[in-house]
């Protein structure tokens, strides 16, 4: 079973907290949702170039909540400098190297809804600081093309499992407890950050029911990773 690191790192600054406007994974980069004075809320970033920080961990699991996720109206501690962010290769055969620049991942048709995942900034190299850069990697993370696969069986909204081609779960290297992204690559349905609740050799059990359908000709299931980053918002 994968045991994700706590988002906070020794020395992390945690000066503020805000209520969530919607579900947010631990380690997601977050941005403002409601900016009304006295009623500010946050959400997982979608494509913003300015972020407030990283969503920290819940120290306990309230009844009825999903493991590894904040729910709407919960008060979230925001880490605003250094911590473990959720990253992914976004359909490219790429790794993150220490010192690479990162941006909020552009997923689906570019309007995926809030997700809070990071990818290499500008290109798969991540070596150029761009206007979209929000973080800098402080460690190397091996990802590559093994991290994303097309499901073998169609997924419908509300499904709690995904059938994969034999051998691909092992190739992805996922374990129970890992974060994964379900991505409709061609529509505004976009992406859902989820977690692996159970595994067989060909079936991924989902922590959260699938939010939308996945097709077997182009949509993706992608393993997400944690990367120690410094925010450069």
Chain segment 174-204, per-residue pLDDT in tens = 999 999 999 988 766 689 999 999 999 999 9
Instruction: Say yes or no to pLDDT of 172 above 90.
Output: yes
- CATH code, domain carrying 205: 2.40.30
Contact 95, 124 (CB under 8 A): no
Q: In the β-sheet with 148-149, what is the strand arrangement from edge to edge?
A: 148-149, 220-223, 179-183, 191-199, 203-206, 161-163
What is the per-residue pLDDT for 214?
A: 92
Q: Give a yes or no: residue 104 inside a domain.
A: no
Structural domain boundaries, residue 73: 16-82
List % helix, strand, coil for the chain (3-state, nearest 5).
5, 35, 60
In a domain, 58, yes or no: yes
What pTM value is reported for the model?
Answer: 0.93
Report in angstroms the alpha-carbon separations of 103 from 212, 219, 225: 25, 22, 15
- pLDDT band with cut points at 50, 70 and 90 for residue 103: very high
169 domain-assigned: yes
Q: Which of 64, 82, 100 is the last residue of a domain?
A: 82
Q: Is residue 110 part of a domain?
A: no
* pLDDT tier at 65, thresholds 50, 70, 90: confident
CA angle centred on 69, ends 4 and 203, rounded to 5°: 70
For residue 129, being part of any structural domain is answered with no
- Give the count of domains, the chain: 2
d(CA 233, CA 201): 41
DSSP helix/strand/coil, 171: helix
10-37 pLDDT tens trace:
888 888 899 999 999 999 999 998 777 7
Residue 38, pLDDT above cutoff 60 = yes
What percent of the chain is predicted at pLDDT more than 90?
70
In a domain, 134, yes or no: no
């Amino acid at each position: 079973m994968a045991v994700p690191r706590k988002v906070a790192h020794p020395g992390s600054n945690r000066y503020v907290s805000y209520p969530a406007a919607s579900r947010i994974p631990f380690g997601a980069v977050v941005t403002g949702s409601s900016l009304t004075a006295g009623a500010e809320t946050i959400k997982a970033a979608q494509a913003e170039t300015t972020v407030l920080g990283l969503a920290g961990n819940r120290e306990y699991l309230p009844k009825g909540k999903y493991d590894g996720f904040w729910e709407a109206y919960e008060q979230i501690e925001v880490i605003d400098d250094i911590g473990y962010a959720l990253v992914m290769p976004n359909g490219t055969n790429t790794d993150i190297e220490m010192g690479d620049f990162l941006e909020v991942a552009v997923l689906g048709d570019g309007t995926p809804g809030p997700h809070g995942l990071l990818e290499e900034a500008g290109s798969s190299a991540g070596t150029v600081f761009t206007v979209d850069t929000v973080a800098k990697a402080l460690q190397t993370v091996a990802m590559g093309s093994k991290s994303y696969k097309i499901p073998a069986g169609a997924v419908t909204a509300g499904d709690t499992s995904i059938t994969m081609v034999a051998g691909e779960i092992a190739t992805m290297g996922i374990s129970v407890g890992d974060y994964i992204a379900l991505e409709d690559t061609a529509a505004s349905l976009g992406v859902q950050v989820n977690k692996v609740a159970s595994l067989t050799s060909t079936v991924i059990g989902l922590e959260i029911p699938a939010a939308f359908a996945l097709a077997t000709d182009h949509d993706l299931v992608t393993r997400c990773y944690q990367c120690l980053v410094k925010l450069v918002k």
